[in-house]
Amino acid sequence: MCRLLGIVSAVPYHFDLVLREAPHSIAMLSREHRDGWGLATHGGGPEAEWSVHRSTLTADDDPTFAELAHSAAGRVLLAHVRKKSVGPLAPENTHPFRSGRWVFAHNGHIIDQDYVRRRTSRARLGERRGDTDSELFFAYLLTCLDEKGVTDTAVSERTDHVVRKAILDAIDRPEFGSLNVLLSNGQSVYVSRFGRTLHLMERVPIGLAVAASPTDGDPCKLADHVPLTQRHCVVVASEPLTDEPWTPVAQGALLRLDVSPQPHWTAIA
């Protein structure tokens, strides 16, 4: 098993609380998921670019992870710590994977890889750099987006339909495997829960109350001083990272997290 974390926020945040400081931070979880880590951050706007960092070291032992946990900021975060099942320990097998404006991370094990491979274009298969089932499924999702002409368009109901059909068609296969995924273009994050645990927490604006500290009670740290009313984010994680109330995501659920106009989530299946 691996561990996933996805965040969309109203304003740019530093993420060191959930990455290193929380009771069940990504760094803490990496002690059992030692086979590499990856972080992808995005500013959330249509002109912003992904910043992706990956390593085969254990996150909790890696000074680079500690530095990035403190310095990396954005409105969207995808984080992953790996416990390898398919594919050796190698940089090219470390999540998140990126192709163009899309990034992808996976927790699970795909058994029916032949099904995925048959439905993936030669071009997308040729883009793969590693040999994981996860990167293969990413190539399959990109093929589905390509075929419907929505790879480079704004996320819409058409995009929802493509992602939903691609995932449900796969998971409906007998003995397909487990498929918790995060797929993001920087403005939205698609989330699936099939076969592994997943939890959700939404931090909503709570008025003009004065916090005891700039990060009091928040799952994210502010990049700059921002009024408490704007501290709004939606978080999904393989397991609750903080002592706050988290909601288990139902088995079989598909969600879309959006940055704008304010962070929110929508069930699409």
Query: Cα–Cα distance between 138 and 185 in angstroms, integer?
Result: 13
What value does the mean pLDDT take over residues 254-260? 97
Instruction: Tell me if 38 sits within 8 A of 222, measured CB to CB.
Output: no
Residue 193, domain extent? 3-267
**Res 243: pLDDT:** 86
Read off the pLDDT band of 11 (50, 70, 90).
confident
Structure tokens at 54: 């990956």
**Res 46: pLDDT:** 85
Read off the pLDDT band of 183 (50, 70, 90).
very high
What value does the mean pLDDT take over residues 134-149? 99
Lowest-confidence pick of 82-96, 168-182, 244-258: 82-96
Query: Cα–Cα distance between 180 and 192 in angstroms, integer?
Result: 5
Structure tokens at 13: 């945040």
**Res 223: pLDDT:** 53
Read off the pLDDT band of 150 (50, 70, 90).
very high
**Res 265: pLDDT:** 97
**Count of C-beta atoms within a 10 Å radius of residue 52:** 16
Read off the pLDDT band of 210 (50, 70, 90).
very low
Task: Write the CATH number for 126.
Answer: 3.60.20.10
What value does the mean pLDDT take over residues 29-48? 94
pTM: 0.92
Confidence check: pLDDT of 214 > 50: no
Which is nearest to 133 in space by CA: 150, 116, 118, 121? 116
**Res 57: pLDDT:** 96
| Beta strand 180-184 pairing with 247-248 | unpaired
Per cent of the chain over pLDDT 90 is 80
Task: Tell me how many domains the chain contains.
Answer: 1
In 3-state terms the chain splits into helix, strand, coil percentages (rounded to 5) of 25, 30, 45
What value does the mean pLDDT take over residues 240-250? 93
Higher pLDDT, 47 or 147: 147
Query: Cα–Cα distance between 56 and 187 in angstroms, integer?
Result: 28
**Res 68: pLDDT:** 96
Q: Which residues on neighbouring strands pair with residue 262, listed in sequence order? A: none
Query: Cα–Cα distance between 173 and 93 in angstroms, integer?
Result: 25
Higher pLDDT, 144 or 45: 144
Phi-psi region of 236 (alpha: psi -120 to 50; beta: other; left: phi over 0): beta
Query: Over the stretch 221-243, which tens digit does the pLDDT of each residue have?
Result: 555 555 444 568 999 999 999 88
Lowest-confidence pick of 206-210, 230-234, 254-258: 206-210
| Beta strand 3-14 pairing with 233-237 | antiparallel
Confidence check: pLDDT of 216 > 60: no
CA atoms within 13 A on the CB side of 103: 25
Beta strands in the chain (DSSP E): 3-14, 37-42, 51-55, 73-81, 97-99, 102-107, 180-184, 188-192, 199-203, 221-222, 233-237, 247-248, 254-258, 264-267
Cα dist from 169 to 90, 99, 141, 162, 184, whole Å: 30, 22, 11, 10, 20
3-state secondary structure of 171: helix
Residues with Cβ within 8 Å of 178's Cβ and at least 6 positions away in sequence, in order, are 107, 108, 109, 110, 194, 195, 196
What value does the mean pLDDT take over residues 140-161? 98
Query: Over the stretch 52-108, which tens digit does the pLDDT of each residue have?
Result: 999 999 999 999 999 999 999 999 999 999 988 888 899 999 999 999 999 999 999
